[in-house]
A and B are shown apart, each in its own frame.
Chain A
Amino acid sequence: MEDSTSPKQEKENQEKLGEARRSWEGKTAASPQYSEPESSEPLEAKQGPETGRQSRSSRPWSPQSRARTPLGGPAGPETSSPAPLSRREPSSTPSPPAPARQDLAAPPQSHRTTSVIPEAGTPYPDPLEQSSDKRESVPLHTSQSERNTFQQSQQPKPHPCGPRDVSYNNAKQKELRFDVFQEADSNSDCDLQLPAPGGSEGAPSMLETAIQNAKAYLLKTSSKSGFNLYDHLSNMLTKILNERPENAVDIFENISQDVKMAHFSKKFDALHNENEMLPTYEIAEKQKALFLQGHLEGVDQELEDEIAENALPNVMESAFYFEQAGVGLGTDETYRIFLALKQLTDTHPIQRCRFWGKILGLEMNYIVAEVEFREGEDEEEVEEEDVAEERDNGESEADEDEEDELPKSFYKAPQAIPKEESRTGANKYVYFVCNEPGRPWVKLPPVIPAQIVIARKIKKFFTGRLDAPVISYPPFPGNESNYLRAQIARISAGTHVSPLGFYQFGEEEGEEEEEVEGGQNSFEENPDFEGIQVIDLVESLSNWVHHVQHILSQGRCNWFNSIQKNEEEEEEGEEEDEEKEEPDYIEQEVGPPLLTPISEDLEIQNIPPWTTRLSSNLIPQYAIAVLQSNLWPGAYAFSNGKKFENFYIGWGHKYSPDNYTPPVPPPVYQEYPSGPEITEMDDPSVEEEQAFRAAQEAVLLAAENEESEEDEDEEDDYD
Chain B
Amino acid sequence: MDADSLLLSLELASGSGQGLSPDRRASLLTSLMLVKRDYRYDRVLFWGRILGLVADYYIAQGLSEDQLAQRKTLYSLNCTEWSLLPPATEEMVAQSSVVKGRFMGDPSYEYEHTELQKVNEGDKVFEEEIVVQIKEETRLVSVIDQIDKAVAIIPRGALFKTPFGPTHVNRTFEGLSLSEAKKLSSYFHFREPVELKNKTLLEKADLDPSLDFMDSLEHDIPKGSWSIQMERGNALVVLRSLLWPGLTFYHAPRTKHYGYIYVGTGEKNMDLPFML
Contacts and interface: CB of A to CB of B under 8 A. Distances in A.
Interface string B152-188: 0000000000000000101110000111000000000
Contacts of A364: 229
Contact of A659 (B170, B224, B234, B270): B270
A365 B229 contact: yes
A254 B170 contact: yes
A436 B233 CA distance: 9
Interface SS of chain A: helix, strand, loop or mixed?
Answer: loop
B23 A323 contact: no
A276 B233 contact: no
Contacts of B24: 326
A412 interface: no
Interface in B97-121: 100-102
B16 A360 contact: yes
B234 A605 contact: no
A659 B23 CA distance: 36
Contacts of B22: 323-324
A649 B17 contact: yes
A326 B54 CA distance: 16
A126 to B, nearest CB: 51
A608 B170 CA distance: 47
Contacts of A608: 53
B255 interface: no
B273 to A, nearest CB: 10
Nearest to A618: B23
Contacts of B17: 327-329, 358, 360, 634, 649-650
A427 to B, nearest CB: 26
A619 B27 CA distance: 13
Interface in A299-345: 323-330, 333
Interface in A596-654: 605-608, 611, 615-619, 628, 630, 633-634, 649-651, 653
Interface in A422-451: 436
Given A283-B233, A608-B53, A649 B23 contact: no
Nearest to A255: B172
A505 interface: no
A642 B231 CA distance: 35
Given A363-B227, A607-B101, A279 B233 contact: yes
Interface in B248-276: 264-265, 270-271, 274-276
Contacts of B235: 280
Interface string A649-663: 111010101111010
Contacts of A280: 233-235
A516 interface: no
A594 B265 CA distance: 30
Contacts of B15: 329-330, 333, 365
A321 to B, nearest CB: 10
A496 to B, nearest CB: 17
B21 A326 contact: yes
B102 A607 contact: yes
Indicate the member of B15, B101, B168, B227 with the most A CB atoms within 10 Å: B227
Interface residues of A, number: 59
Nearest to A287: B233
Contact of B234 (A283, A323, A649): A283
A362 B227 contact: yes
A254 B169 CA distance: 12
A526 to B, nearest CB: 30
Interface in A340-395: 358, 360-365
Interface string B36-59: 000000000000000101100000
A568 interface: no
A649 to B, nearest CB: 3
Contacts of A436: 231, 233
Contacts of A245: 171
A192 to B, nearest CB: 39
Interface string B10-31: 0100111111111110000000
B19 to A, nearest CB: 6
A649 B16 CA distance: 7
Contacts of A468: none
B199 interface: no
B230 interface: yes
Contacts of B276: 460-461
Contact of A461 (B168, B264, B275): B275
Contacts of B265: 633, 655
A363 B229 contact: yes
A270 interface: no
A420 to B, nearest CB: 28
A680 interface: no
B89 interface: no
A287 B231 CA distance: 13
A258 interface: yes
B172 A657 contact: no
B233 A630 contact: no
A326 B24 CA distance: 9
Given A276-B179, A280-B233, A330 B102 contact: no
B232 interface: yes
Contacts of B229: 363-365
A362 to B, nearest CB: 5
B139 interface: no
Contacts of B170: 254
A251 B53 contact: no
A271 interface: no
B144 interface: no
Nearest to B160: A254
A210 interface: no
A282 interface: yes
B14 A329 contact: yes
A89 to B, nearest CB: 49
A459 B274 contact: yes
Contacts of A254: 170-172
A250 interface: yes
Nearest to A653: B275
Contacts of B245: 651
Given A279-B230, A360-B240, A608-B53, A251 B171 contact: yes
Contacts of A633: 264-265
A658 B2 CA distance: 35
A598 to B, nearest CB: 16
Interface string B221-247: 000100101111111000010100100
Contacts of B53: 607-608, 611, 630
B5 interface: no
Contacts of B224: 362
A2 to B, nearest CB: 47
A235 to B, nearest CB: 16
B78 interface: yes
Given A245-B171, A251-B171, A251-B172, A328 B19 contact: yes
Contact of B18 (A324, A327, A630, A660): A327
Interface in A218-234: none
A591 B173 CA distance: 59
A326 B275 contact: no
Nearest to A247: B171
B157 to A, nearest CB: 11
Given A328-B17, A360-B227, 9 more contacts: A280-B234, A287-B233, A324-B22, A333-B14, A360-B16, A436-B233, A461-B242, A608-B53, A634-B17
6 contacts: A279-B234, A283-B233, A460-B275, A633-B264, A659-B271, A662-B274
The 9 closest A-B pairs by CB, nearest first: A283-B233, A649-B17, A330-B14, A280-B234, A276-B178, A660-B271, A326-B21, A254-B172, A280-B233
Interface of A: 245, 250-251, 254-255, 258, 276-277, 279-284, 287, 323-330, 333, 358, 360-365, 436, 459-461, 605-608, 611, 615-619, 628, 630, 633-634, 649-651, 653, 655, 657-660, 662
Interface of B: 11, 14-24, 51, 53-54, 78, 100-102, 168, 170-172, 177-179, 224, 227, 229-235, 240, 242, 245, 264-265, 270-271, 274-276
